[in-house]
Chains A and B, each alone.
Chain A
Amino acid sequence: MDFIIGLIFWGLSALILFSGLMVVIVKNIIHAALWLIASFAGIAAFYFLLEAPYIGVVQILVYTGAISILMLFAIMLTRQVTGEGTQQLFKRWWVAALVAFGLFAVVIVPTIWFPRLPVAERGQPTYWPQSDRAAASATPAAAPAAQQEPQPEAETPQIAGAFEIGRSFMAEYLLPFEVSSLLLLVALIGAVVIAYEERTRRRRILTLAEEAELRRSVAGLGMERPLQASAQLPPGKSEAGTAERR
């Protein structure tokens, strides 16, 4: 059974990391978003493996079902400048790679070489017995883990699930719950206010000829200057705008 769990674990890790890597290096931004969805789904499966099914389901509902859809919508609404032709990475992307890799090294070396976590000895099956919790919380976290006998066959005591989450949201975590609901409300209203566009100022959908013209002007101006585009004009005036640009 341990072998199967390990196999699932490494398979999921490979899926998550590979699709995460594809998110950051792939050229087409829509493909990047789709790889991101794959990564989210792998992480949800990871939560199921960690016996937190509620978090896994919430991950699927929020990330895979909502946030990624939002991203795809945003990409499609800004489609004219996110095509495959444009350069997707900064010129000095290798600095970013260096920073990320350095951070990884800095984080991972102590994690692997000097494990100070009160789980168990390395290589041993780790287990945190219920009865030892009081004793261990009294001792400092860096205490030697020898006192915790590995008990792989014992029944795991009552992992907290959806029921306990609901209980503690209504009891000791009531304030964070209310604050996060307020945050959601603020984000909802803020998103509407920021993205709202009055109907009279709404941009007309460009025809194919106008779009080609726009692309040409973008290429001519170079990518440095922000564009004051003619497409911003209200519907009636766009003809004049096109003429001006010529």
Chain B
Amino acid sequence: MRSIVTAMPLEAILTVAAALFCIGLFGALSRRNIIGILMGVELMLNAVNINLIAFWRYLEPTNTSGLIFAIIAITVAAAEAAVGLAMVIAVYRTRLTINADEVDTLRG
């Protein structure tokens, strides 16, 4: 049975994941909007997950550790998104802005 393992070298997948990670990094660093920053972080987490699954598939397809790591990463990403967006809404309520460079006072 042919599969991706016979069709593609592992480096191709790693390249795609690295490119996605860097795009996410650029988004996280350059966006003013906090939600835009969160989007960049989500892209980075997804790139990491692609790497995890690719390594699992190419190196240890019979073992479950790669899959479990990916699932736990998804769980953490979900928790991060929920809390992060709740904080965005709380910030918006007190400051009426969600641009990261305008939220610069420590006073609530």
Q: List 13 A-B contacts (CB under 8 A).
A: A3-B7, A21-B23, A23-B23, A23-B43, A24-B27, A24-B43, A62-B74, A71-B38, A86-B32, A88-B33, A104-B18, A188-B82, A226-B103
Taking CB atoms, residues of chain A closer than 8 Å to B12 are: 9, 13
User: A71, A123, A194, A232: which contacts B35 (Cβ < 8 A)?
Assistant: A71
Query: At the interface, is chain A mostly helix, strand, loop or mixed?
Result: helix
The 4 closest A-B pairs by CB, nearest first: A24-B27, A96-B29, A187-B79, A5-B7
User: B3, B56, B78: which contacts A5 (Cβ < 8 A)?
Assistant: B3
User: B25, B49, B58, B68: which contacts A176 (Cβ < 8 A)?
Assistant: B68
Cβ contact within 8 Å between B31 and A111: no
Asked whether any CB of chain B lies closer than 8 Å to the CB of A108, the reply is: yes
Cβ contact within 8 Å between B5 and A127: yes
Known: A5-B2, A96-B29, A188-B82. A51 touches B57 (CB 8 A): yes
Nearest-neighbour CB distance to chain A for B15, whole angstroms, equals 6
Alpha-carbon gap, A13 to B23, bound state (A): 13
Asked whether any CB of chain B lies closer than 8 Å to the CB of A107, the reply is: yes
Asked whether any CB of chain B lies closer than 8 Å to the CB of A78, the reply is: yes
What mask results when residues 32 to 59 of chain B are scored 1 for a CB within 8 Å of chain A, else 0?
A: 1101101110110010011001101111
Taking CB atoms, residues of chain A closer than 8 Å to B77 are: 62-63, 67
Taking CB atoms, residues of chain B closer than 8 Å to A33 are: 35, 39
